[in-house]
Amino acid sequence: MSSDRFRLDGRLAFITGAGRGIGRACARALADAGAEVWLAARTRDELESAAAEVRADGGRAHTVVVDVTVPDQLRKAIAALPSLDVFVNNAGANIPEPFVDVTDEHLDRLLNLNVRSAFIGAQAAAKKMLASADRRAGGGAIINMSSQMGHVGAVNRTVYCMTKHALEGLTKAMALELAPNGIRVVSIAPTFIETPMTKPMFAKPEFGQWVRDRIPAGRVGQPEDVAAAVVFAASPAASLVTGTSLVIDGGWTAQ
């Protein structure tokens, strides 16, 4: 098999939550594979820093300051793109806490970010792809950033698990509707990844040990582990992959 099947030359990719962590790694990896990347997030300084890294490696990068929880901002940002081949629906958050202590505010915040904005972003991306009259063979790819918690449950993560299970269902339903148009939809389901979001959790030694004890592969994930799966899912090499989840969990969900 030619390595060209993993290339994304001539394609345009839009990544939400691209200023840090997994989103930032995805932007760099997609650019390394040849894609022109558009990085979207709320914080301009983080976006510009991430874009500078891409450009320093010889890639093409643009930044879009957008709050994905504001529907009109997200829709306009996607509609304004010159074209769209790959959409990485990555923005998300978690608030670990006991089920009985979850407040309405925390419930609404995670549902709004992890589910509602993900739906709106995916919908806008699909519309943009469908509107492309010169759609190349193989269509587009919409990649929803899920979690291993979209496949199992966990203590103190009821809302997060609920939102990621919802995203897995959305992926399957979208894939069925969009397949006739050549648009693939795949979810990526990582285990615990070392990112700015999880850094405060791993600062507690007992938490880090609890995580490592449950990953048969023996190590915590890195953003690059997830980014590699995203590049595959976006590439022609994954042309028959749709409506499913790529679980990047070191064996967590096999137990």
Question: Which positions are annotated as active-site residues?
Answer: 160, 164
Q: Find out whether 23 and 15 touch, Cβ atoms under 8 Å.
A: yes
Q: Find out whether 135 and 129 touch, Cβ atoms under 8 Å.
A: yes
| Rounded alpha-carbon distances, angstroms, from residue 71 to 19, 63, 85, 118, 124 | 19, 18, 21, 10, 10
Q: Which amino acid does the sequence have at 201? A: M
Look at residues 157, 156, 224, 233 and name the one whose alpha carbon lies nearest to residue 188: 233
SS3 197: coil
The label of the residue with tokens 């063979």 reads 137
End-to-end CA gap in the chain: 33
Quick one: how far is CA 171 from the chain centroid?
Answer: 12
Task: Give the chain's radius of gyration (CA, Å).
Answer: 17
Q: Find out whether 245 and 171 touch, Cβ atoms under 8 Å.
A: yes
| Rounded alpha-carbon distances, angstroms, from residue 138 to 57, 103, 171, 229, 234 | 27, 44, 18, 18, 10
CA torsion angle 203 207 213 216 (round to 10): -70
Look at residues 241, 237, 234, 242 and name the one whose alpha carbon lies nearest to residue 87: 234
Its sign, for the CA torsion 11, 15, 21, 22, is negative
